[in-house]
Amino acid sequence: MTLQEFFTEHPRAALAFSGGADSSYLLRAGLRWAEKLGAYYVKSPFQPEFERRDALRLASALGASVTVLEADPLCDPRIAANPANRCYYCKKIIMSTIKTAASRDGFDLVLDGTNASDDVSDRPGYKALGEEGVLSPLRLCGITKAELRERSREAGLFTWDKPAYACLATRVPTGETITAEKLAAIEAGEDLLFQMGFTDFRLRTGDGAAKLQFIAGQHERAAERLDEIRAALKPYYSEVSLDPIPREKST
């Protein structure tokens, strides 16, 4: 099945739109081939502000409107407790929020950007998608991450090489309580690293300390600037360390 065939079979749908490479390419495809596609972005303490800006910028470039919704997963104590299956409960809230708004707008089907390269065998969030009746056209059509990035590049989407960006809650160790304050500190710290020119990294936190993980191409530069980085992050973390092992590049 091609994406064009998918949208011929499902001409009206709502899209869970994050502004990442996957959902951005899917938005473009839906605008081309669907009869009507609505894009919905859910703003929450788990998503950094730059993601919302990227989503609106990409949609504007395509001439699409985006409905911005708000949700606070931390209101669910099962999520705040940060268990191993936290993503399951969080995804249920996010998709329920979108489904409610989409239904009011006349959409009975919700789509997401899971692609054929995603390993869903151990993803609690993917289980939630199935329970909520959400379809993943990229996965159903066998489109891999590499393929959608190449197609996005050819289409001129600035998201074609955008690194994958997991939600802020993934920076907190499983079992450690997630708070709005911790998420805000992580976002502020990572924003400072972006401003310093780094593009693919993670700021892991635990017990008030921060451990920084950079891809190989940026790890050496981070080590050279570690004192500067520590000074920048001092308002948020009294202890900042650099993981000696570079992280794999986000795909």
Alpha helices in 73-122, H assignment, sequence order: 77-80, 86-104
Residue 125 tokens, joined? 């969030």
Q: What is the pLDDT of residue 209?
A: 95
Q: What is the pLDDT of residue 63?
A: 96
Q: What is the pLDDT of residue 244?
A: 93
Predicted structure pTM score:
0.93
* CB proximity list for 180: less than 8 A, separation 6 or greater: 45, 74
pLDDT tens, the chain, 251 aa long: 999 999 999 999 999 999 999 999 999 999 999 999 999 999 999 999 999 999 999 999 999 999 999 999 999 999 999 999 999 999 999 999 999 999 999 999 999 999 999 887 778 888 999 999 999 999 999 999 999 999 999 999 999 999 888 899 999 999 999 999 999 999 999 999 999 999 999 999 988 899 999 999 899 999 999 999 999 999 999 999 999 999 888 77
Residue 75 tokens, joined? 């209101």
Residue 69, beta-bridge partner list: 42
Q: Which residue has the tokens 């159903």?
A: 140
Residue 250 tokens, joined? 């986000």
Report pLDDT digits (tens) over 193-225.
999 999 999 999 988 899 999 999 899 999 999
Q: What is the pLDDT of residue 164?
A: 87
Q: What is the pLDDT of residue 165?
A: 86
Q: What is the pLDDT of residue 234?
A: 96
Q: How far apart are CA 214 and CA 96, in angstroms?
A: 34
